[in-house]
Chains A and B, each alone.
Chain A
Amino acid sequence: MAQPALVVGADLAVHPAGSAAEARCGDGAGAAVVGCGTPVLIFRGGLSTTTPFVDRYQAPGLPTVDWEERWVREEGVLAHVPEAIAQALGRAGLAASEIDHVVLPSTIPGVSKAVVERAGLTRARLAPDFGEETGDTGSGHALVMIAGALDRMAAGQTLLVAQFGQGVTVLVFEATEMVGSYRTNLDGQLAAGIAEETYLKLPVFRGQLGWDRGLRGRQSTPEALTTAYRKADPLLGFVAGRCRETGQVQFPPSRLVSDGSGLFLDTQEPWPLADRLGTVTTATADRLAFSRSPPSCYGLVDFDGGGRLMMDFTDPDADTLTTGQRVRFALRIKDLDDRTGWRRYFWKAAALVEGPSVAAN
């Protein structure tokens, strides 16, 4: 009996400024649940091979080492992938000409088309690689591209996924009746993208460019690990307290609460806020406070169902949030301590974009 599993691929690309990799790659993530429920895709067969072919190398905090793309294409991808595809098709009991859709992530232009031709996938359509929209999202990209393929597949059609990297993995699937009604949130995510034209933000945010934080930005952000653990529910889970006597919601939770009429001890029960929405009561865009992306935008937010919090706003349109606007909540980096590398997370308010696919995210 198969156990359900969650598969997640995610990457945050750090490449040298001005490199081809920087231009072609992006941050992103894809996820799939396998082994339970009513499937959209059924696994027909596949395989993984390994080969000591190192085409790029990067140690943490050190620059990337790349080799010539022509060598990677000829001796790497084209030498190994078509053969692995042939073997995988044999295991799946399918002929090359029976494949309808192909997912083949690669940052080298033209290589996917060459693989399709050499492998004899005569009727297959290449799934969109989102090279212009997101760039190659690294370890998440096969999943991102599968999501793109799903949105154009019909029941009974076949999907071949192949990816090269010190070996090859090939997976062959067949779409079920479910595929017709199934929609991923990919289009919504792509549509919600905001163009950023200030290139310098990228190397600054990636820590690749030294910059002047001003005296306010030089303060270290020590973490009291004891407090972080003790308060993990409110800080990471965004869990408030709701008094079972009065219904009053409060963040952060506390033992002793008052509603003006009386004091109550230990009457608060956990009240998660993360999936609720809120309304901005008042706000500012602060040009004096330290921020990696000034101005520092924050304000008082009232939660649906009670409670409120003075909190950071996030996303590029944060400075447009003002009284009355609806917000959702996202777990984001709150502080980065440059001295120790400590990364603190907390929840921030972001403008609520109408449309269920993004709001539900």
Chain B
Amino acid sequence: MASGIKDKVAVLAMGCSRFGERWDVGADELMVEAYTEALRRAAIAPEQIDAAWYSSHYDDIGAGKAGTPMALALRLPGVGVTRVENFCAGGTDAFRGAVYAVASGAADIALAMGVEKLKDTGFAGLPPASRGTFVPMYMPTHTNPGNFAQLARAYAAKHNVSMADLKRAMAHTSVKSHANALDHPNAHLRKAITIDQALRAPMVADPLGLFDCCPVSDGAACAIVTTPDIARGLGLREPIMVKSIQVVTSNGWELQQSDWDASYVHTARITARRAYAEAGIDHPRQTINLAELHDCFSITELVTLEDLALADEGSAWRSMLDGAFDRDGKLPCQVDGGLKCFGHPVGASGLRMLYEAWLQLSGQAGSRQLGSPHHALTHNLGGSPAQNVCAITILGV
């Protein structure tokens, strides 16, 4: 049994650009916004960065898929940049690369950056998947709302929840995130909505309506990680430590065998078990003070709460309606607005979640600050419920 990553690496600083429909900037400028903030907070020079990981899922215009766009944008001085693509979970995977580099002793200080410039496609929603050679010959022409809509139908069928009740719980999920994002100047959607608005919204993929879906955003976020000793040497009395990073990838079981009932995310359950074990957490509901979940769709947040054992199976919809995951609830979720309202620039989202977790744990969240939290969890999901990459990170004091 490996000893795990717990307490071997500290987060020195983080940065995050303003998210949104950034007609004014490209991916390079988004990265500069996040990077300069992190550098300033870390109080280090670029020359001190030993290695870098770069997560960007879609952009391969001109430069191809390589580490060069990041090195060019940030003018990194002789730093090796590894590019990571892992659907929407790429941001966390870039973070994992940087953390592992520091933990191995190969690097003292490493940088992880995620960025996505999505508003150059000319239409709403994510770009259609590129055409491979075999899979498109039999898979439906699908979209992500369609993939996750199936999760909602299967969840309702399994737990015998009426669609009206589930729609109300999904509406509450979105209303809560809209309210939370009002307090963050860098969030994409800063506008309150009502339950009624959410329920009456146009249907996108049955049963998911417009307000059940997160927006498509431009944005970048980054982390600078180092050893606990170096962090203390740089003046951090109580550095924020990495307690766990786990990634699990589907191997075809869900989509090809009939044991999975489509009402939950199989990889999320495995990832959560491993993450709690790595962090030494026996009672996650008592230990985790806040969660940033991959709420690409309202139903994903509800199902994930159960997959991560933060709610009993079949009950998250009811607890959501009771306010358990509101900002003043038992377990505040998406305090910054989440994917739903802070925005979802694919390759950056995992790092954006960590950014809020880090701000909260280090007491820098301003008007959003939730007392003195000691453990924060981020859950970053790439792909569809049936075939995906699931990444969970736990940070702690």
Quick check: A283 and B137 within 8 Å, CB to CB?
no
The chain A residue with its CB closest to the CB of B151 is: A282
Listed stretches B2-10, B224-232, B253-261, B357-365; interface member: B253-261
B residues in contact with A298, CB < 8 Å: 140, 142, 146
CB distance from A126 to the nearest CB of B (A): 46
Quick check: B128 and A285 within 8 Å, CB to CB?
no
**B206 at interface, CB cutoff 8 A:** yes
| Given A235-B137, A300-B154, 8 more pairs with CB closer than 8 A | A216-B125, A281-B258, A281-B261, A284-B205, A288-B145, A289-B142, A289-B146, A296-B140
Quick check: B206 and A295 within 8 Å, CB to CB?
yes
B residues in contact with A216, CB < 8 Å: 123, 125, 128
Q: Which of A245-295 contact B (CB under 8 A)?
A: 248, 250-252, 258, 260, 281-291, 295
The chain A residue with its CB closest to the CB of B256 is: A250
A119, B159: Cα distance in complex, Å: 71
Find A224's partner among B128, B134, B150 (CB 8 Å cutoff).
Answer: B134
The chain A residue with its CB closest to the CB of B134 is: A227
A residues in contact with B134, CB < 8 Å: 224, 227, 231, 252
Find B143's partner among A286, A300, A311, A323 (CB 8 Å cutoff).
Answer: A286
Q: Which of A205-263 contact B (CB under 8 A)?
A: 214-216, 219-222, 224, 226-228, 231, 234-235, 248, 250-252, 258, 260
Q: Mark B129-140, 1 if CB is under 8 A from A, else 0.
A: 001011011111
A224, B134: Cα distance in complex, Å: 8
Q: Which of B261-314 contact A (CB under 8 A)?
A: 261-263
**B48 at interface, CB cutoff 8 A:** no
Quick check: B131 and A222 within 8 Å, CB to CB?
yes
**A307 at interface, CB cutoff 8 A:** yes
Quick check: A310 and B140 within 8 Å, CB to CB?
yes
Find B150's partner among A227, A258, A284 (CB 8 Å cutoff).
Answer: A284
**A82 at interface, CB cutoff 8 A:** no
CB distance from B256 to the nearest CB of A (A): 5
A residues in contact with B205, CB < 8 Å: 284-289, 295
Q: A300-B262, A308-B255 are in contact. Are A287 and B141 (CB under 8 A)?
A: no
**B149 at interface, CB cutoff 8 A:** yes
A residues in contact with B133, CB < 8 Å: 224, 226-227
Q: Which residues of A contact B (CB under 8 A)?
A: 214-216, 219-222, 224, 226-228, 231, 234-235, 248, 250-252, 258, 260, 281-291, 295-296, 298-300, 302, 306-312, 319, 322-324, 334-335, 344, 346-347
The chain B residue with its CB closest to the CB of A252 is: B138
Quick check: A282 and B137 within 8 Å, CB to CB?
no
B: interface residue count bin: 35 or more
Quick check: B258 and A306 within 8 Å, CB to CB?
yes
Q: A291-B141, A296-B142, A322-B153 are in contact. Are A251 and B204 (CB under 8 A)?
A: no
Quick check: A215 and B122 within 8 Å, CB to CB?
yes
Most chain B Cβ neighbours within 10 Å, of A220, A234, A235, A289: A289
Quick check: B146 and A286 within 8 Å, CB to CB?
yes
A residues in contact with B121, CB < 8 Å: 215
B residues in contact with A227, CB < 8 Å: 133-134, 137
B residues in contact with A235, CB < 8 Å: 137-138
Q: Closest 4 CB pairs between A and B?
A: A286-B146, A298-B140, A284-B149, A224-B133
Find A312's partner among B123, B140, B257 (CB 8 Å cutoff).
Answer: B140
Quick check: B142 and A286 within 8 Å, CB to CB?
yes
B residues in contact with A248, CB < 8 Å: 257
**B106 at interface, CB cutoff 8 A:** no
Quick check: A324 and B140 within 8 Å, CB to CB?
no
The chain A residue with its CB closest to the CB of B124 is: A288
Q: A228-B137, A231-B137, A287-B205 are in contact. Are A299 and B128 (CB under 8 A)?
A: no
A residues in contact with B123, CB < 8 Å: 214-216
A282, B252: Cα distance in complex, Å: 17
Quick check: B157 and A324 within 8 Å, CB to CB?
yes
**B192 at interface, CB cutoff 8 A:** no
Quick check: A286 and B256 within 8 Å, CB to CB?
no
A260, B140: Cα distance in complex, Å: 27
A295, B147: Cα distance in complex, Å: 14
Q: A224-B133, A309-B138, A346-B138 are in contact. Are A250 and B257 (CB under 8 A)?
A: yes
Find B157's partner among A219, A282, A308 (CB 8 Å cutoff).
Answer: A282
CB distance from A320 to the nearest CB of B (A): 11
A289, B204: Cα distance in complex, Å: 9
Q: Mark B372-397, 1 if CB is under 8 A from A, else 0.
A: 00000000000000100000000000
Quick check: A288 and B137 within 8 Å, CB to CB?
no
Q: A231-B137, A308-B255 are in contact. Are A285 and B262 (CB under 8 A)?
A: no
CB distance from A25 to the nearest CB of B (A): 30
B residues in contact with A284, CB < 8 Å: 145-147, 149-150, 153, 205-206
Q: A234-B138, A235-B138, A334-B137 are in contact. Are A310 and B386 (CB under 8 A)?
A: yes
The chain B residue with its CB closest to the CB of A215 is: B123
CB distance from A334 to the nearest CB of B (A): 7
CB distance from B232 to the nearest CB of A (A): 45
**B66 at interface, CB cutoff 8 A:** no
CB distance from A228 to the nearest CB of B (A): 7
CB distance from B200 to the nearest CB of A (A): 16
Quick check: A281 and B154 within 8 Å, CB to CB?
yes
A80, B132: Cα distance in complex, Å: 57
